[in-house]
Structure 1
Amino acid sequence: MSESDQQFEFSEFSGEFVDDDVIVHLRIYRPAGTNSDWILEVLDQEGNTTIWNDPFDTDRDAFEEFLATVQRDGIRSFLEEPVQKLH
Structure 2
Amino acid sequence: MSTTEENIEQSPLTQTYSANEQTVTIDIYKGESGWILEIVDAGNNSTLWEDEFATDQEALDEALAALSEEGIDCFIGPA
Q: Could you tell me the TM-score, scaled by structure 2's length?
A: 0.84
Q: Unaligned stretches of 5+ in structure 1?
A: 82-87
Q: Which residue of 2 aligns with 1:40?
A: 37
Q: Which residue of 2 aligns with 1:84?
A: none
1:39-78 aligned at under 5 Å gives the runs 39-78=36-75
Give the C-alpha shift of residue 80 in structure 1: 4.1
Give the C-alpha shift of residue 15 in structure 1: 2.1
Q: Which residue of 2 aligns with 1:85?
A: none
Question: Number of matched residues?
Answer: 75
Q: Percent of counterpart pairs with the same letter? A: 35
Q: Which amino acid counterpart does residue 51 of structure 2 have in structure 1?
A: D
Q: Which amino acid counterpart does residue 9 of structure 1 have in structure 2?
A: E
How far, CA to CA, are the matches of 2:22 and 2:3 in structure 1?
31
Please, what is the CA RMSD of the aligned residues? 1.7
- Secondary structure of 1:8's aligned partner: coil
Q: Unaligned stretches of 5+ in structure 2?
A: none
Q: Which residue of 2 aligns with 1:13?
A: 13
Q: Could you tell me the TM-score, scaled by structure 1's length?
A: 0.77
Report if aligned partners of 2:13, 2:60 keep a CA contact under 8 Å in 1: yes
